[in-house]
Chains A and B, each alone.
Chain A
């Protein structure tokens, strides 16, 4: 069996209110992020008190999380893009180190590089 090759990437977990989903994905798309996962209807507690997930009747009133794995050089432009937004809105971005095996899915670089 071929040995697995691990490549380092950064994982972004972007938490914001549901009504801003299109704004956030637009920024990611324009910067060239190749894909992301969106988790809807989060619950949790933060500086604005407890936020409960709701299933019905108002989709804008939920918190969502967008998860994206990106090469390190993309992190700064992304954060630069989100800065004016987070100056005025609640939410957070977590950045962490991760490893992936199929780099080609996340980056325009060739996996063999």
Chain B
């Protein structure tokens, strides 16, 4: 079979759209916090949770008992809960003689498990009978055909076809299929963990797998079936169509089915989805693979397994299955009870026997008796819970005598309530957190002082900065600011000794500029060599292979494949040596001139040619003369026709000489078009003066720091330190793409210290005095230490004050550690004075599964003046972004903060939320069982889906939530009108707000009013928060 190109494109688009709810999985080297339901953000929070349950089987809220505990601890105030119940009841019809408000409050706070059940066999009259202690009507009255028909109609709704087969015939296809798919993925996507590489990977996932599958011993048993499928077509799109048609699934349902298939191993699917959409990713360029390939592999294997099981009278396609269900409804029911593990234990054996012998009479008889028993149990259990509930509301007699119509009304009301209950708890918990915030906030606008602070410090908005900022402010005359930790400068970075670019910015940005790190060698060098020649000097020093290249330059010049593949061992040795004694470095931040770029290209070409001659003709380097190299270069570029010097060396073998020149052009990339490309790539290095001025000005304005600069302005990035921790990157800076923030700090400080930049800033109204100096620093979040960098560049006037600054930082660090360390359970007994030492030990201890709590317990995102929060402790739970609306004349700064940092904050918040409410499905479970997979992810045990989300150790303590899951409560300190205008202009935030993915509270400093966004409308904080009632509650 062969599809038209249009149809093929359509299949691709269907798979693309089907894959959208599957969250990206970034390689864990740079862990990116994200919302596991990001692909469903176009739906409301509540709807998305329901869809998430269907696709990923994840819970969207904590169990009721946990919320009840928060209620007892005062973390959820009763007044808000009552408010929620009232709002719910306002939309329901009243039921006579029953205090529903009291009943529902009781249900929330006193009854541990849900009252209503999903057991379709139990009807209202059954529960009514149970309430009166009467016998239930006979099971013969139940119309099984209706149940069977419902099952046939919803065959494609909740799980793939073979899952239904498993649930009815115990075929175990799903589990075996997942295993086979995971093994196939591990083979193909491996990034150097396994010793043997899968052959033919450059052809792409499906084609490479196809080759192997036809010969693979593991698949030999079902080889016949796989052969049959693979022979039908060559392309993955065609295979997908073949399988779907063979399974008899109507085309209208294909997309739904694709989505369910992809959700099955959503970690792997998410990785493949990310990988194929990331064109920069080296491995993806080299070994391409996308969701279409993945689906084709999966479906081929699924069809083979279905056909194999079909040999034992199991239906092989949708039509046969529907026929079976319709013809044998009782057998279907019993099969589902047994194989879907719903059966009452004492019946299991009898039902298994009846099904085994297959006599319909016997099946009917056992079925009826079983149904009666199960209904009675469920009805009695529900009746008991109802009685308990009624007892609290003094309504037991009323309940027992209730007619069926009224009872149905009550049950339906409770069912609706229990479905909505999670939202109600969540909203009450968020309202409590808002109340707590407002209670501690400093609402008065204090007049600005003219006094120059001893030092100012720019910290990342990260929640862990809040503690350090608070303590630093407390130990002396320090002023602190919060800004996204990439300091507004998106940059692609090549670290010294690394052959890859790292994007140091939030993942929603693609940096246009490239910065390289270079070693500062001896003084003589700096005199003799320009910055660029130095880059080349590095290059020449570290040649490992016959080809020339330092990996950094190599990357730019397209020779990236060299170091790692050809000489991995020597490469690694060299790397580790390099890391041991990493020399002083400086950053190449300014743009190159055209002449500089041109001379680099020429120098690299010369080096490549001379290495090629050495390698191909085995000529010792000292015999390769400059003239020859020059001539060969001219010939390769097509400026001259031949190279007489080479021909002479080859004993006049012109053919061989020409072939070599051709190789220089094609294999060694010495040609005009590659030279143009190389010039273009070199053009990415550095920032122009305009760009530097723009970035510095934008950053300073957005935090409201435009005058009164201190002598020291610290630019503090942050990073975590731990050993043996695949999740280390999750603890680093999200604004720097899951990397440490030091390089961004160095780049920013370098720009801000440049006289030319300052001169231009002055003309724009930002006058940085000559004695103000920006110092980059790194905040180690595991130990709370702050280490300053590039101090060798400090002006001579500054070192005398450095001691005072160091001492201030050390004091803040110690106070911070003392506050933080007791919450780490392993060290809770540590005397407070030893807290710093314990924190340092955590950073080095390879067996430590929880070096720090990271961003756990995050809940607020404050955009505003520090004054608002400086008098209160936010306990390391708030992202703080400085913002002063008075300097935001065009109102663009606020828009930028909510489009960028707030969105990233929401990802982090949602990652923590879902990893906490359902750590097994949305989080990654316990770290203790994790094994690294393919060098980019982790699996539980030795074979599982890639684990996504955060491990239990990050969000749970002793199996109970440590992180308190709430949606991000955003607080904006600006006039209401401005905030509304900004939100109206930013589509993405408008969507998040209206669909309830973030909460928003606006504190208007001009009117002193507080507005809270609730489901599409703005409420006054005072209306929503009945302060008197809450204060009474607190007093109790």
Known: A54-B895, A54-B899, A58-B509. A23 touches B5 (CB 8 A): no
B698 on the interface (CB 8 Å rule)? yes
The docked-state distance in angstroms from the alpha carbon of A9 to that of B499 is: 44
Is B279 interfacial (CB-CB < 8 Å)?
A: yes
Q: How far is the CA of A82 from the CA of B985 in the complex (A)?
A: 28
- With A30-B5, A48-B987, A77-B6 as given contacts, are A57 and B899 in contact (CB-CB < 8 Å)? yes
Query: B988 touching A58 by the CB < 8 A rule?
Result: yes
Closest partner residue, chain A, to B985 (CB atom): A52
Contact yes or no, B987 A77, CB < 8 A: no
- The SS class assigned to the A binding surface is helix
Nearest Cβ on chain B to A3's Cβ, whole angstroms:
33
Residues of B within 8 A of A77 (CB): 4-6, 9
Q: Is the CB of A61 within 8 A of B987?
A: yes
Residues of B within 8 A of A84 (CB): 10, 13-14, 16-17, 255
Q: Pick the residue among A50, A52, A82 that contacts B13 (CB under 8 A).
A: A82
Q: Is B1024 in contact with chain A by the CB < 8 A criterion? A: no
Contacts of B12 in A (CB 8 A): 26-27, 30, 81
Q: Is A80 an interface residue (CB 8 A)?
A: yes
Whether A59 lies near B279 (C-beta < 8 A) is no
Residues of B with C-beta under 8 A to A78: 6, 9
Chain A residues with Cβ under 8 A from B506's Cβ? 57-58
Closest to B893 in A: A56
Complex interface: chain B residues within 8 A of A87 (CB): 17
**Chain A residues whose C-beta falls within 8 Å of the C-beta of B488 in the assembled complex:** 56
Is there contact, CB below 8 Å, between B16 and A57? no
Asked if B510 lies at the interface with its beta carbon under 8 angstroms from chain A, I say yes
Chain B positions 541 through 582: 1 when the CB is less than 8 Å from some CB of chain A, otherwise 0: 000000000000000000000000000000000000000000
- CA distance in complex: A51, B10 (Å): 28
A6 interfacial by beta-carbon distance below 8 Å: no
Assess whether A81 is in contact with B17, with CB atoms less than 8 Å apart. no
Interface string of B877-916 (1 = CB under 8 A from A): 0000000000000000001100111010000000000000
Which listed residue, B6, B896, B900, B985, touches A81 by the CB 8 Å rule?
B6
CA gap between A23 and B8 in the complex, in Å: 14
Residues of chain A within 8 A (CB-CB) of B16 are 23, 84-85
Inter-chain contact A22/B279, CB cutoff 8 Å:
yes
Chain A residues whose C-beta falls within 8 Å of the C-beta of B17 in the assembled complex: 84-85, 87-89
Contact A61 B899 (CB under 8 A): yes
Closest partner residue, chain B, to A26 (CB atom) = B12
Q: Does B652 contact A (CB under 8 A)?
A: no
Q: Is the CB of B988 within 8 A of A61?
A: yes
For the complex, is B277 an interface residue (Cβ under 8 Å from A)? yes
Interface centre among A27, A49, A82 (most CB of B within 10 A): A27
Which residues on B sit within 8 Å (CB–CB) of A85?
Answer: 13, 16-17
B469 to chain A, nearest CB (A): 23
Chain A residues near B984: list those with CB within 8 A: 50
Q: Could you tell me the distance in whole angstroms from the C-beta of A58 to the nearest C-beta in chain B?
A: 4
Is B698 a contact partner of A27 (Cβ separation < 8 A)?
no
- CB closest chain-A residue, reference B509: A59
Contact of B9 with A81 in the complex, beta carbons under 8 Å: yes
Query: B508 interface residue, CB < 8 Å from A?
Result: yes
Whole-angstrom distance between the alpha carbons of A26 and B901 in the complex?
A: 30
B986: interface (CB < 8 Å): yes
B142 within 8 A of A: no
Chain A 69-101 interface mask (CB, 8 Å, partner B; 1/0):
000000011101111110111000000000000
A80 to B4, CA, bound (A): 10
Q: In the complex, A54 Cα to B509 Cα: how many Å?
A: 12
- Roughly how many angstroms separate A27 CA and B8 CA in the complex, as a whole number? 10
Question: A39 in the interface, Cβ–Cβ < 8 Å?
Answer: no
B7 near A: Cβ within 8 Å?
yes
CA distance A85 to B12 in the complex (A): 10
Q: Are B509 and A80 in contact (CB under 8 A)?
A: no
A23, A54, A83: the one contacting B986 at CB < 8 Å is A54
The answer to whether A81 touches B10 (Cβ under 8 A) is yes
Instruction: Give Cα A60 to B988, complex, Å.
Output: 9
Bound Cα distance from A58 to B10, whole angstroms:
29
Residue of B nearest to A81 (CB): B9
- Chain B CB within 8 A of A111 CB: no
Q: Judge whether A57 and B509 touch: CB under 8 Å.
A: yes
Q: Is the CB of B508 within 8 A of A80?
A: no
Of all chain B residues, the one with the shortest Cβ separation from A62 is B987
Q: Are B8 and A58 in contact (CB under 8 A)?
A: no
Q: A54-B899, A58-B900 are in contact. Are A80 and B987 (CB under 8 A)?
A: no
Interface flags for A34-45 (1: CB within 8 Å of B; 0: not) read 000000000000
Does A104 lie at the interface of the complex (its beta carbon under 8 Å from any beta carbon of B)? Answer: no
Q: Mark B1-37, 1 if CB is under 8 A from A, else 0.
A: 0001111111011101100100000000000000000
Judging by beta carbons under 8 Å apart, are B987 and A30 in contact? no
Which of A31, A49, A51, A56 lies at the interface centre, i.e. has the most chain B CB atoms within 10 A of its CB?
Answer: A56
The residue that B508 contacts in the complex, of A27, A59, A82, A88, with Cβ under 8 A, is A59
Contact sample, A vs B, 30 pairs, CB 8 Å cutoff:
A22-B277, A22-B279, A30-B8, A31-B5, A31-B9, A32-B5, A50-B985, A54-B895, A54-B986, A57-B506, A57-B900, A58-B509, A58-B900, A58-B988, A60-B508, A61-B508, A61-B899, A61-B903, A61-B986, A77-B5, A77-B6, A77-B9, A80-B6, A80-B10, A81-B6, A81-B12, A81-B13, A82-B13, A85-B16, A89-B17
10 pairs of A and B residues whose beta carbons are closest in the complex: A81-B9, A57-B900, A77-B6, A80-B6, A61-B988, A84-B13, A58-B899, A84-B14, A58-B508, A52-B985
